[in-house]
Amino acid sequence: SDSYFFVTATGLRHLHEKKIVHRDLKPHNILLSEDSDDAEVKIADFGFAREIDPSHLMDSYLGSPLYMVCLKNLITIQNIVK
């Protein structure tokens, strides 16, 4: 059986293929359908989710503060990606 991490990543890839970004991914928003090794993984709480629009950058910082990348690290990550 696939790991919960792999299944979650596959779900996120599916969302991104559909041009949807979650914007508040954290452990509390990853749910299991039951307490077993065969549980389905479900991504929850799409309150901050948005459709990806290449003509408009998502320049606002949304999400749960305890799970957000600090601004200093975000700037470093953006410089690496460029």
Q: What is the C-alpha separation between 28 and 19, in angstroms, rounded?
A: 23
Identified catalytic residue from 2, 24, 37, 45: 24
Q: How many CB atoms lie within 10 A of CB 26?
A: 13
* 59: annotated active-site residue: no
Q: What is the pTM of this model?
A: 0.67
Identify the pLDDT of residue 54: 76
Structure tokens at 3: 């790991």
Mean pLDDT of 62-72: 62
Residue-wise pLDDT tens digits, 2-54: 799 999 999 999 999 999 988 888 889 999 999 988 899 999 999 888 888 87
Identify the pLDDT of residue 23: 84
- Across the chain, mean pLDDT equals 79
Q: What is the C-alpha separation between 47 and 43, in angstroms, rounded?
A: 12
